[in-house]
Amino acid sequence: MTNAKLEKVIALEGTKKGSILVAHIDEPYGKDSKPIISIGVSLKGDNEPDWKVHIPYENLDELIDVLNEIKKAKD
């Protein structure tokens, strides 16, 4: 069984109750699988996301870099 820890809930801009949920999950794919970051989006604002993506920690720095590049280009 996975061990998930909700790290942060962020209000989703442009919605009345929507939220972005960021969690750390140990062993997401079974025993001895590597931990990941889970990012979910809930349009209803509950803890059951309508969409989610799992990001391995090994990809986190590159993902942050590209998100910052996209944000900078928009500004």
Using one digit for the tens of pLDDT, what is the confidence trace for 33-50? 999 999 999 999 888 899
What does the angle CA 38 – CA 44 – CA 48 come to, to the nearest 5 degrees? 35
pTM for the whole structure: 0.88
- Tens of pLDDT along the chain (75 residues) come to 468 999 999 999 999 999 999 999 999 999 999 999 999 999 998 888 999 999 999 999 999 999 999 999 998
Separation between Cα atoms, residue 7 and residue 75, nearest integer Å: 28
* Cα–Cα separations (whole angstroms), residue 17 to 14, 31, 36, 48, 49: 9, 35, 26, 13, 12
